[in-house]
């Protein structure tokens, strides 16, 4: 059984996919599993299916979340990593992360992602995930100690954890599936760690579908749904403060559109039922898994590894 399953979802850019496949094939261990999942566009011109990879075709209408979930169903590794097309792996990118999974009671690990595609501004940056102190606002950060969960391009997660979570959420826009997973991790008290330094370089911007207004509204809808769950640590700031930001005249047009979307989104409970059921199912699944892990040894610190949740007891029950 492979230790690591690398999932590469292909959607549109053939050159970006080839660059990533070259990187993966050059650096992966012979024991690592490679899964390429596509919607009918990939013809496997190099004959990777079989000895080198599992090539999985999904319906043409499949979303990114659906592609990833199909890959999870076919993966056999204990740990899964999402490798987005255009991403290039650094040498020894997974050594510290896999050591942490071996020795620590962690559910997912954030790898540092650098390159001009991370910020979307064309300037190179290093980011690890979404800033915990700003949740349920969505802001990526380059401070390893402050994250609540990883970016999709830097996600390594136990297969058992993503299965307990029910996979990536197929009911929300694909632009936000990593952020929603971050909210799930925060609410459930999952153990999230960080391997510091750049492990993945990405100069291809992730294709975003939502407008700034739609993005803000969708984030607001998620915030509303998660804040309504019993004992939730996710709290929405007063609407008057948001409206005050809009009235200040100190924000750009794009940011104003996103904030207006947020103001309306936090009043929209249309995702509350879906998120509530997802959380309850995950709590049951993690509680079942926790019972199987009761005798695991205590957490042992690893070189270059930093945990962002210090308490070792899961909040699954």
Taking only the tens place, the pLDDT of each residue in 204-258 is: 766 678 999 999 999 999 999 999 998 888 888 765 455 555 555 556 888 889 9
Report which listed range, 129-133, 161-165, 291-295, is most confident: 161-165
Phi-psi region of 47 (alpha: psi -120 to 50; beta: other; left: phi over 0): left
DSSP state of 153: G
User: Tell me: the pLDDT tens digits for 2-36?
Assistant: 999 999 999 778 888 999 999 999 999 988 999 99
Q: What is the mean pLDDT of the chain?
A: 86
What's the CA angle centered on 203, arms 172 and 37, to 5 degrees?
50
**Residue of 101 and 305 predicted with greater confidence:** 101
* Per-residue confidence band for 295, with pLDDT thresholds at 50, 70 and 90: low
State how far the alpha carbon of 297 is from the alpha carbons of 87, 102, 105, in Å: 35, 11, 9
Phi, psi values for residue 108, rounded to 5°:
-150, 155
Q: Are the beta carbons of 20 and 84 closer than 8 angstroms?
A: yes
**Residue of 240 and 181 predicted with greater confidence:** 181
Structure confidence at residue 316 (pLDDT) = 27
Q: Are the beta carbons of 67 and 79 closer than 8 angstroms?
A: no
Question: Taking 80 as the threshold, does the pLDDT of residue 300 lie above it?
Answer: no
What mean pLDDT is predicted for residues 87-116? 92
Candidate from 22-26, 113-117, 127-131, 136-140 with smallest mean pLDDT: 113-117
Centre a 10 Å sphere on the Cβ of residue 253 and count the other Cβ atoms it contains.
Answer: 8
Structure confidence at residue 42 (pLDDT) = 87
* Per-residue confidence band for 301, with pLDDT thresholds at 50, 70 and 90: low
Structure confidence at residue 27 (pLDDT) = 95
Structure confidence at residue 89 (pLDDT) = 95
* Per-residue confidence band for 41, with pLDDT thresholds at 50, 70 and 90: confident
What's the CA angle centered on 140, arms 174 and 306, to 5 degrees?
115
**Architecture of domain 4-209+281-307 in this structure:** Alpha-Beta Complex (3.90)
Structure confidence at residue 312 (pLDDT) = 36
**Residue of 15 and 268 predicted with greater confidence:** 268
* Per-residue confidence band for 105, with pLDDT thresholds at 50, 70 and 90: confident
Structure confidence at residue 315 (pLDDT) = 28
Q: Where do the domains of the chain lie? A: 4-209+281-307, 212-272
Longest dimension (CA), the chain: 60
Q: How many CA atoms lie within 13 A of 16 on its CB side?
A: 19
Candidate from 93-97, 182-186, 303-307 with smallest mean pLDDT: 303-307
Question: Which contiguous run of DSSP H or E holds residue 289?
Answer: helix 272-292
Q: CA–CA separation, 98 vs 121, rounded Å?
A: 31
Question: Taking 60 as the threshold, does the pLDDT of residue 317 lie above it?
Answer: no
Structure confidence at residue 294 (pLDDT) = 73
* Per-residue confidence band for 44, with pLDDT thresholds at 50, 70 and 90: confident
Structure confidence at residue 235 (pLDDT) = 87
Centre a 10 Å sphere on the Cβ of residue 171 and count the other Cβ atoms it contains.
Answer: 11
């Amino acid at each position: 059984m492979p230790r690591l399953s690398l999932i590469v979802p292909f959607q549109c850019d053939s050159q970006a996919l080839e660059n990533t496949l070259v990187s993966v094939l050059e650096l992966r261990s012979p024991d690592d599993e490679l899964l390429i999942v596509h919607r009918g566009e990939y013809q496997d011109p190099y004959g990777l299916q079989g000895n080198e990879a599992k090539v999985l075709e999904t319906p043409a209408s499949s979303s990114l979340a659906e592609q990833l979930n199909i890959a999870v169903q076919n993966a056999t590794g204990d740990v899964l990593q999402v490798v987005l097309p255009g991403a290039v792996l650094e040498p020894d990118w997974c050594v510290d992360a896999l050591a942490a999974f071996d020795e620590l009671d962690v559910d997912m690990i954030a790898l540092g992602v650098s390159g001009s595609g991370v910020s979307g501004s064309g300037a190179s940056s290093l980011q690890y995930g979404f800033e915990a102190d700003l949740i349920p606002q969505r802001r990526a950060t380059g401070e390893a100690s402050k994250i609540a969960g990883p970016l999709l391009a830097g996600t390594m997660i136990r297969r058992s954890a993503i299965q307990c979570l029910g996979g990536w959420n197929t009911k929300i826009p694909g632009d936000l599936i990593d952020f929603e997973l971050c909210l799930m991790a925060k609410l459930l008290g999952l153990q999230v760690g960080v391997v510091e330094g750049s492990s993945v370089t990405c100069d291809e911007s992730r294709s975003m579908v939502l407008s700034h207004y739609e993005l803000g509204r969708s984030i607001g809808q998620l915030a509303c749904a998660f804040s309504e769950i019993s004992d939730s640590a996710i709290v929405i700031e007063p609407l008057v403060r948001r409206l005050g930001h809009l009235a200040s005249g100190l924000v750009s047009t794009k940011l104003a559109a996103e904030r207006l979307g947020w103001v309306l989104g936090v009043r929209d409970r249309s995702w509350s039922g879906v998120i509530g059921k997802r959380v309850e199912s995950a709590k049951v699944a993690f509680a079942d898994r926790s019972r199987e892990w009761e005798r695991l040894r205590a957490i042992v610190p690893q070189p270059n590894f930093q945990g962002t949740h210090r308490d070792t007891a899961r909040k699954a029950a």
